[in-house]
């Protein structure tokens, strides 16, 4: 039992070193320019050790994304459906809290041209939670539930991505209030208030 714990700690430590090396390199260059040798050198391991844990760079990216989604899941658990609709800020606040742990890295990860994977994983997590919360409070057809979920969550994630990748001159609270108005009042209600 002791030996397993020791090996597990070594595995965790090595994988963390690889992920941190990748994050550091991603801040310096495009993902397509990062090599396994670069990561190995930065993590102070050899290429063989890298391949003991990962088949390639995108496996590292996938595991980092899964780690992020687990962290977001932990943060948003406990936000009630009613609360999140009344104030999308609660969800945005939790996403921002996670992203603020390493803003530069998340900026590079979310900004990767070929990487829609992280955004999809976050959206899928929020959609499943949203559906679960709706079904606790309301009887609704599957078609309507799916349409509502896709419309609201995809829109929220897209708006949040745009805000995150902007100069962030508008406070997230303002963006959240506008999203709440749009979600509750629809386009007509949104336009009436804007006029």
Contact 187, 168 (CB under 8 A): no
The CB density around residue 144, as the number of other CB atoms within 10 Å, is 11
Q: Structure pTM?
A: 0.72
Distance of CA 130 to the CA centre of its chain: 16
CA separation for the pair 61, 19 (Å, rounded): 8
pLDDT digits (tens, 9 = 90+) for 22-31: 988 887 888 8
Residues of the chain with pLDDT under 70: 1-7, 80-89, 103-104, 107-108, 110-115, 193-195
């Amino acid at each position: 039992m002791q030996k397993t714990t020791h090996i597990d700690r070594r595995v965790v430590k090595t994988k963390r070193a690889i992920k941190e090396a990748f994050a550091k390199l991603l801040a310096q260059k495009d993902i397509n320019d990062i090599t396994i040798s670069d990561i190995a050198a930065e993590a102070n391991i050899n290429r063989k050790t890298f391949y003991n844990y990962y088949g390639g760079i995108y496996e590292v990216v996938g595991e980092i994304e899964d780690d992020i989604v687990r962290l977001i899941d932990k943060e948003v658990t406990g936000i009630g459906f009613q609360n999140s609709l009344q104030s999308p800020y609660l969800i945005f606040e939790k996403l921002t809290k996670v992203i603020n742990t390493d803003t530069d890295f998340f900026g590079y990860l979310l900004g990767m041209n070929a990487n829609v994977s992280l955004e999809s994983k976050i959206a899928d997590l929020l959609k499943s939670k949203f559906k679960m919360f709706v079904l606790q409070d309301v009887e609704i057809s599957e078609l309507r539930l799916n349409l509502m979920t896709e419309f609201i969550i995809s829109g929220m994630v897209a708006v949040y991505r745009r805000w995150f990748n902007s100069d962030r001159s508008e406070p997230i609270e303002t963006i959240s209030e506008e999203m709440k108005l749009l979600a509750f009042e629809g386009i007509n209600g949104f336009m009436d208030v804007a006029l």
